[in-house]
Amino acid sequence: MNHATEARQFLRSTNSAMLSTMSVKFAGYPFCSVAPFVLDHSGQPVILISTIAEHTQNIDANPKLSLLVFAGNEDLQASARLTLIGQAQPITKDDADLRARYLRYLPQASSYFAMHDFSFYRIDVVQARYIAGFGQMGWVSQEEISGAALTMSSALARQETAIVEHMNADHGDSLISYCRHFHGVDASEAQMLGIDSDGFDVRVTVNADPSAAPASQMLRFNFDQPIHDAIEARHALVAMTKATKI
Protein backbone atom coordinates (compact mmCIF):
# COMPACT_ATOMS: atom_id res chain seq x y z
CA MET A 1 0.00 0.00 0.00
CA ASN A 2 1.40 3.41 -0.94
CA HIS A 3 1.60 6.42 1.37
CA ALA A 4 -1.33 8.26 -0.20
CA THR A 5 -3.67 5.25 -0.07
CA GLU A 6 -2.77 4.67 3.57
CA ALA A 7 -3.48 8.34 4.36
CA ARG A 8 -6.86 8.19 2.60
CA GLN A 9 -7.85 5.01 4.42
CA PHE A 10 -6.82 6.57 7.73
CA LEU A 11 -8.93 9.67 7.01
CA ARG A 12 -11.95 7.46 6.38
CA SER A 13 -11.44 5.51 9.60
CA THR A 14 -12.11 8.27 12.15
CA ASN A 15 -14.33 11.29 12.86
CA SER A 16 -12.10 12.95 15.48
CA ALA A 17 -10.15 16.13 14.76
CA MET A 18 -8.77 19.40 16.10
CA LEU A 19 -9.59 22.50 14.07
CA SER A 20 -7.04 25.32 13.87
CA THR A 21 -8.26 28.71 12.62
CA MET A 22 -6.70 32.17 12.58
CA SER A 23 -7.95 34.13 15.58
CA VAL A 24 -9.90 37.34 15.03
CA LYS A 25 -9.68 38.35 18.68
CA PHE A 26 -5.93 37.75 18.91
CA ALA A 27 -4.63 38.67 15.48
CA GLY A 28 -1.80 36.52 14.13
CA TYR A 29 -2.37 33.66 16.56
CA PRO A 30 -3.92 30.29 15.65
CA PHE A 31 -6.96 29.15 17.63
CA CYS A 32 -7.55 25.42 18.17
CA SER A 33 -10.81 23.65 18.99
CA VAL A 34 -12.43 20.22 18.89
CA ALA A 35 -14.19 19.49 15.59
CA PRO A 36 -15.88 16.16 14.89
CA PHE A 37 -16.38 15.73 11.14
CA VAL A 38 -17.92 13.51 8.49
CA LEU A 39 -16.61 13.14 4.94
CA ASP A 40 -18.95 13.98 2.09
CA HIS A 41 -19.01 11.94 -1.12
CA SER A 42 -16.28 14.06 -2.69
CA GLY A 43 -13.98 13.04 0.16
CA GLN A 44 -14.01 16.48 1.83
CA PRO A 45 -14.56 16.93 5.59
CA VAL A 46 -17.85 18.51 6.68
CA ILE A 47 -18.22 20.13 10.10
CA LEU A 48 -21.35 21.42 11.86
CA ILE A 49 -20.58 24.59 13.80
CA SER A 50 -22.42 27.46 15.49
CA THR A 51 -22.28 31.07 14.38
CA ILE A 52 -21.50 32.14 17.95
CA ALA A 53 -18.48 29.81 18.20
CA GLU A 54 -15.04 31.39 18.18
CA HIS A 55 -13.83 29.19 15.33
CA THR A 56 -16.82 30.12 13.13
CA GLN A 57 -16.12 33.81 13.54
CA ASN A 58 -12.50 33.12 12.66
CA ILE A 59 -13.48 31.15 9.55
CA ASP A 60 -15.85 33.86 8.36
CA ALA A 61 -12.97 36.38 8.57
CA ASN A 62 -10.34 34.03 7.12
CA PRO A 63 -11.44 30.65 5.70
CA LYS A 64 -7.91 29.21 5.62
CA LEU A 65 -7.40 26.55 8.29
CA SER A 66 -5.91 23.20 9.17
CA LEU A 67 -7.61 20.10 10.56
CA LEU A 68 -5.59 17.60 12.59
CA VAL A 69 -7.23 14.20 12.21
CA PHE A 70 -6.35 11.52 14.75
CA ALA A 71 -7.54 8.28 16.30
CA GLY A 72 -7.66 7.77 20.04
CA ASN A 73 -4.52 6.28 21.51
CA GLU A 74 -2.57 6.71 24.71
CA ASP A 75 0.64 7.52 22.82
CA LEU A 76 -0.49 10.06 20.20
CA GLN A 77 3.05 10.80 19.01
CA ALA A 78 3.56 7.15 18.08
CA SER A 79 0.17 6.91 16.36
CA ALA A 80 -0.95 7.84 12.87
CA ARG A 81 -2.28 11.36 12.31
CA LEU A 82 -3.16 13.51 9.34
CA THR A 83 -3.06 17.29 8.98
CA LEU A 84 -5.36 18.69 6.31
CA ILE A 85 -4.71 22.20 5.01
CA GLY A 86 -7.60 23.87 3.25
CA GLN A 87 -10.34 26.45 3.15
CA ALA A 88 -13.80 26.27 4.71
CA GLN A 89 -16.96 27.37 2.99
CA PRO A 90 -20.56 27.34 4.25
CA ILE A 91 -22.91 24.87 2.58
CA THR A 92 -26.63 24.31 3.00
CA LYS A 93 -27.91 22.37 5.98
CA ASP A 94 -30.98 21.41 3.94
CA ASP A 95 -29.21 18.70 1.91
CA ALA A 96 -31.23 15.70 3.11
CA ASP A 97 -28.67 13.10 1.99
CA LEU A 98 -25.75 14.87 3.64
CA ARG A 99 -27.77 15.50 6.79
CA ALA A 100 -28.75 11.82 7.02
CA ARG A 101 -25.14 10.76 6.49
CA TYR A 102 -23.86 13.17 9.13
CA LEU A 103 -26.38 11.98 11.74
CA ARG A 104 -25.68 8.30 11.12
CA TYR A 105 -22.06 8.92 12.08
CA LEU A 106 -22.69 11.57 14.74
CA PRO A 107 -26.23 11.01 16.08
CA GLN A 108 -25.49 13.13 19.16
CA ALA A 109 -25.64 16.20 16.90
CA SER A 110 -29.35 15.75 16.09
CA SER A 111 -30.47 18.54 18.42
CA TYR A 112 -28.17 21.03 16.66
CA PHE A 113 -30.20 20.85 13.45
CA ALA A 114 -33.16 22.42 15.23
CA MET A 115 -31.03 25.44 16.09
CA HIS A 116 -30.82 28.16 13.44
CA ASP A 117 -27.30 29.18 14.43
CA PHE A 118 -25.68 25.86 13.42
CA SER A 119 -24.47 25.47 9.83
CA PHE A 120 -22.50 23.03 7.70
CA TYR A 121 -19.06 24.05 6.50
CA ARG A 122 -17.12 21.97 3.98
CA ILE A 123 -13.33 21.99 4.12
CA ASP A 124 -11.86 21.99 0.62
CA VAL A 125 -8.52 20.29 1.13
CA VAL A 126 -5.50 21.79 -0.64
CA GLN A 127 -2.72 19.61 0.80
CA ALA A 128 -2.25 17.01 3.53
CA ARG A 129 0.62 15.86 5.74
CA TYR A 130 0.40 12.24 6.83
CA ILE A 131 2.45 10.76 9.67
CA ALA A 132 2.07 6.99 9.92
CA GLY A 133 4.46 6.71 12.87
CA PHE A 134 8.04 7.55 13.80
CA GLY A 135 10.03 8.24 10.62
CA GLN A 136 7.07 7.53 8.32
CA MET A 137 5.70 10.79 6.96
CA GLY A 138 5.13 12.80 3.83
CA TRP A 139 2.96 15.29 1.95
CA VAL A 140 -0.12 14.12 0.05
CA SER A 141 -1.93 16.10 -2.66
CA GLN A 142 -5.63 16.91 -2.77
CA GLU A 143 -6.15 14.42 -5.59
CA GLU A 144 -4.37 11.64 -3.70
CA ILE A 145 -6.21 12.22 -0.42
CA SER A 146 -9.63 12.18 -2.12
CA GLY A 147 -8.90 9.38 -4.58
CA ALA A 148 -11.76 8.27 -6.83
CA ALA A 149 -14.24 10.26 -4.74
CA LEU A 150 -12.93 13.53 -6.17
CA THR A 151 -14.17 12.78 -9.70
CA MET A 152 -16.99 10.32 -9.07
CA SER A 153 -20.60 11.04 -10.01
CA SER A 154 -23.17 12.03 -7.41
CA ALA A 155 -25.10 8.77 -7.90
CA LEU A 156 -23.74 7.09 -4.78
CA ALA A 157 -24.49 10.17 -2.67
CA ARG A 158 -28.13 10.01 -3.75
CA GLN A 159 -28.35 6.23 -3.31
CA GLU A 160 -26.45 5.89 -0.02
CA THR A 161 -29.39 6.18 2.38
CA ALA A 162 -31.36 3.49 0.52
CA ILE A 163 -28.33 1.17 0.43
CA VAL A 164 -27.69 1.62 4.15
CA GLU A 165 -31.34 1.09 5.09
CA HIS A 166 -31.52 -2.06 2.93
CA MET A 167 -28.35 -3.55 4.41
CA ASN A 168 -29.45 -2.86 7.98
CA ALA A 169 -32.99 -4.16 7.45
CA ASP A 170 -32.24 -7.25 5.36
CA HIS A 171 -28.57 -8.16 5.67
CA GLY A 172 -27.66 -7.75 9.34
CA ASP A 173 -26.24 -11.29 9.38
CA SER A 174 -23.90 -10.41 6.50
CA LEU A 175 -22.64 -7.34 8.35
CA ILE A 176 -21.88 -9.47 11.42
CA SER A 177 -20.08 -11.98 9.18
CA TYR A 178 -17.97 -9.18 7.65
CA CYS A 179 -16.91 -8.10 11.14
CA ARG A 180 -15.83 -11.61 12.06
CA HIS A 181 -14.12 -12.47 8.76
CA PHE A 182 -12.32 -9.22 7.96
CA HIS A 183 -11.66 -7.81 11.45
CA GLY A 184 -11.85 -10.83 13.75
CA VAL A 185 -14.58 -9.10 15.78
CA ASP A 186 -17.52 -11.12 17.11
CA ALA A 187 -20.30 -8.55 17.12
CA SER A 188 -23.70 -9.07 18.69
CA GLU A 189 -25.11 -6.22 16.58
CA ALA A 190 -23.87 -4.43 13.47
CA GLN A 191 -25.30 -1.38 11.70
CA MET A 192 -23.96 0.09 8.46
CA LEU A 193 -23.35 3.82 8.88
CA GLY A 194 -22.32 4.87 5.39
CA ILE A 195 -20.93 3.66 2.11
CA ASP A 196 -18.57 5.57 -0.21
CA SER A 197 -16.41 4.98 -3.26
CA ASP A 198 -13.63 3.38 -1.20
CA GLY A 199 -15.63 1.21 1.23
CA PHE A 200 -18.12 1.39 4.09
CA ASP A 201 -18.36 1.81 7.86
CA VAL A 202 -20.17 -0.32 10.41
CA ARG A 203 -20.92 0.43 14.04
CA VAL A 204 -20.74 -2.79 16.05
CA THR A 205 -21.76 -3.79 19.55
CA VAL A 206 -19.45 -6.27 21.25
CA ASN A 207 -20.30 -8.00 24.51
CA ALA A 208 -17.17 -10.06 25.22
CA ASP A 209 -17.69 -9.84 28.99
CA PRO A 210 -21.28 -10.68 30.04
CA SER A 211 -20.71 -8.90 33.36
CA ALA A 212 -19.80 -5.61 31.65
CA ALA A 213 -21.79 -3.19 29.53
CA PRO A 214 -21.59 -3.87 25.77
CA ALA A 215 -18.86 -1.89 23.98
CA SER A 216 -19.45 0.00 20.76
CA GLN A 217 -16.91 0.70 18.03
CA MET A 218 -16.73 1.65 14.36
CA LEU A 219 -15.12 -0.69 11.85
CA ARG A 220 -13.93 0.35 8.40
CA PHE A 221 -14.15 -1.99 5.40
CA ASN A 222 -12.20 -1.12 2.25
CA PHE A 223 -13.20 -2.27 -1.23
CA ASP A 224 -10.64 -3.82 -3.56
CA GLN A 225 -11.71 -1.37 -6.30
CA PRO A 226 -13.57 1.96 -6.10
CA ILE A 227 -17.34 1.87 -6.67
CA HIS A 228 -19.55 4.58 -8.14
CA ASP A 229 -23.20 3.55 -7.71
CA ALA A 230 -25.61 1.08 -6.11
CA ILE A 231 -25.04 -1.62 -8.75
CA GLU A 232 -21.28 -1.63 -8.18
CA ALA A 233 -21.90 -1.51 -4.41
CA ARG A 234 -24.06 -4.62 -4.63
CA HIS A 235 -21.38 -6.50 -6.60
CA ALA A 236 -18.70 -5.56 -4.04
CA LEU A 237 -20.87 -6.55 -1.07
CA VAL A 238 -21.88 -9.87 -2.65
CA ALA A 239 -18.21 -10.66 -3.28
CA MET A 240 -17.45 -9.96 0.37
CA THR A 241 -20.32 -12.19 1.49
CA LYS A 242 -18.93 -15.01 -0.65
CA ALA A 243 -15.48 -14.47 0.88
CA THR A 244 -16.87 -14.98 4.39
CA LYS A 245 -18.12 -18.44 3.39
CA ILE A 246 -14.85 -19.78 2.01
pLDDT digits (tens, 9 = 90+) for 96-131: 999 999 999 999 999 988 787 899 999 999 999 998
Same topology, domains 3-147 and 157-244? Answer is no
What are the boundaries of each domain within the chain? 3-147, 157-244
Angstrom distance (rounded) from CA 100 to CA 194: 10
Amino acid 114: pLDDT:
79
- 141 three-state secondary structure: strand
Angstrom distance (rounded) from CA 138 to CA 169: 42
pLDDT for residue 90 is more than 70? yes
Annotation: CATH topology of 157-244: Split barrel-like (3.20.180)
DSSP string, 70-123: E---S-GGGS-EEEEEEEEEEE-TT-HHHHHHHHHH-GGGGGGGGSTTEEEEEE
Amino acid 75: pLDDT:
64
- At how many degrees (to 10) do helices 230-244 and 155-170 cross? 40
Q: Which of 3-17, 64-78, 198-212 has the largest mean confidence?
A: 3-17
Average pLDDT over residues 34-60: 95
Amino acid 152: pLDDT:
61
- 217 three-state secondary structure: strand
* Cα angle 158-160-166, degrees, rounded to a multiple of 5: 130
Give 94's pLDDT tier (boundaries 50, 70, 90): confident
Tell me if 149 sits within 8 A of 15, measured CB to CB: no
Domain 3-147 annotated CATH 3.40.50.11540: no
Closest CA to 72 of 83, 64, 84, 80: 80
**Parallel, antiparallel or unpaired: strands 17-22 and 64-70:** antiparallel
